A = this chain, B = another copy of it.
Amino acid sequence: MNDMIELLQSHRSIRKFNSTPVTPEQLDAILGSAQMASTSSNMQAYSVISVTDTTLRQQLAVLAGNQAYVSECPLFLVWCADLHRFAQAVRQHADTPVTGNAENFLVATVDAALAAQNAAVAAESLGLGVVYIGGIRNNPAEVSQLLGLPQLVYPVFGMCIGMPDQEPLHRPRLPRKAVYHENRYTEARDAIESYDETVRDYMKERTGSKVDTTWTKEMAAKATRPRQHMKAFLRGQGFEIE
Contact = CB atoms under 8 A, between A and B. Distances in A.
A24 to B, nearest CB: 12
Number of copies: 2
Interface stretch (A50-58, A64-72, A161-169, A204-212): A50-58
A173 to B, nearest CB: 4
Contact of A49 (B102, B120, B185): B185
Contacts of A44: 173-174, 179
A228 to B, nearest CB: 7
Interface string A109-133: 1100110111011100110001110
B149 A185 contact: yes
Contacts of A131: 38
Nearest to A107: B134
Nearest to A182: B50
A56 B183 contact: yes
A96 B37 contact: no
B228 A101 contact: yes
A5 B85 contact: no
A142 to B, nearest CB: 14
A181 B217 CA distance: 40
Contacts of A130: 38
Interface in A159-212: 170-171, 173-174, 176, 178-186, 189, 192
A9 interface: yes
Given A49-B184, A101-B228, A89 B219 contact: yes
Contact of A104 (B3, B11, B176, B226): B226
Given A13-B38, A35-B176, A113-B117, 7 more contacts: A49-B181, A49-B182, A49-B185, A82-B179, A90-B223, A102-B230, A106-B156
5 contacts: A51-B183, A90-B223, A93-B216, A109-B109, A113-B113
